[in-house]
A and B are shown apart, each in its own frame.
Chain A
Amino acid sequence: MTDGVPTWEEVARDHGRFLYSVAYRLSGNDDDAQDLVQEALIRVRRGLERYEPGSLEGWLARIVTNVFLDEVRRKRRRPTSALPEDPEWVLPPSPAADEVSMGLSDDIQAALATLPEEFRVPVVLCDVADQSYEQIARALGVPVGTVRSRIHRGRRLLRSLLTEGAA
């Protein structure tokens, strides 16, 4: 580390798990999380020269979130798979098949994956990446009040989903 700026190896070594966890909670499955982390590390490598020492995990969370949102937009512009005929295609994905069974964690992850990105992203940044509302607002380019509202609505929806699932 030079002048508070980590090397790429230090980022991968010390923050790789953090990056992966955020990516996994955003995307909901390992395959997508791996793609996100790979792309995020490419951007980290490019961006380290411009990194200003501060909240490294905040910076990393912002990068992986941007990668995630870019992928969502890209998929919307150019879907790669035809919509299935089954009308249930709009149902949220089931928990990742490769997720090791962890009981309640599976239910929570499934509910989290069900949240629209609009709510899931700020909830993950707040409760998984441990970012402040101000940091989330900067990362998403929205006012703090918007972050507060989305986090709150996301949590209410999450609670509702978990309650329904338990019923």
Chain B
Amino acid sequence: MTGNGMTGQPGQWSEDLLSAYADGEATAEQRALVEARIAESPSLRAVLEEIEAARDAVRALPQRDAPPEFWARILDGTGLDTRDVMAPAAADAGAPAPVVSLETRRASRLSRWVAVAGGAAAAAVIAAVVLVPSPKQVDPPVASFTDAHAVRNSLDSDAVASLAPLALQAGFRR
């Protein structure tokens, strides 16, 4: 990354200091450097505003919920049900809240969730009522996959540098 103002030695200017500045990750020396630069350069100030806008846009993305069926499968046998993991609003489809046994709800600390509705909630009921496990049992079905997946250490080297020339966005589905 050269010729782009994107690299630099400590104490030297580089444009990527703008992101560090915006994120509160710049040192005092770097902050002073950035502030001096943007004070004299409207174009740099515009860049700062652009990257702040991009950052804020990503940060404003809503938290994503998995389908309740996914959590029901993952939590099978754990004593938890889908509503332990999902946001109440995620299953809000207008139907009445499901009936779930109090014992199961206490065991899995469900009391903080008040209303979950709709089709997603139906799956939650299935998970909570049908599966009725021991709260301390830890036997999720994911364990069945463990033999097929070796733990891979990705930290021996730069984990992403080799990925730079990405052209094709391939899905992971087998």
**Count the A residues whose beta carbon is within 8 Å of the partner chain — how many?**
84
For the A-B complex, the count of residue pairs with Cβ-Cβ distances under 8 Å equals 216
Contact B171 A79 (CB under 8 A): no
A20 and B16 contacting across the interface, CB-CB below 8 Å: no
**Mask of B83-118 contacts with A, CB within 8 angstroms, 1/0:** 011110000000000000000000011000000000
A102's contact among B47, B62, B143, by CB below 8 Å, is which?
B62
Could you tell me the distance in whole angstroms from the C-beta of A151 to the nearest C-beta in chain B? 5
Interface contact A128-B61, CB-CB below 8 Å: yes
Q: Given A28-B169, A141-B158, verify A109-B61 contact (CB < 8 Å).
A: yes
User: Size range of the interface on B?
Assistant: 35 or more
Contact with B16, one of A7, A12, A149 (Cβ below 8 angstroms): A149
Determine if A41 and B87 form an interchain contact, defined as CB atoms under 8 angstroms apart. no
Given contact pairs A12-B84, A16-B66, A41-B142, a sample of 12 additional A-B residue pairs in the complex whose CB atoms are under 8 Å apart: A12-B78, A16-B74, A29-B171, A36-B172, A45-B140, A66-B155, A112-B58, A112-B61, A133-B20, A139-B155, A149-B1, A153-B1
Shortest Cβ-Cβ A-B pairs, 4 listed: A152-B16, A16-B85, A152-B19, A155-B54
Q: Which residues of B contact A (CB under 8 A)?
A: 1, 6-7, 14-20, 23, 25, 47, 50-51, 53-55, 57-67, 70-71, 74-75, 78-80, 84-87, 108-109, 138, 140, 142-143, 145-146, 149, 151-152, 154-174
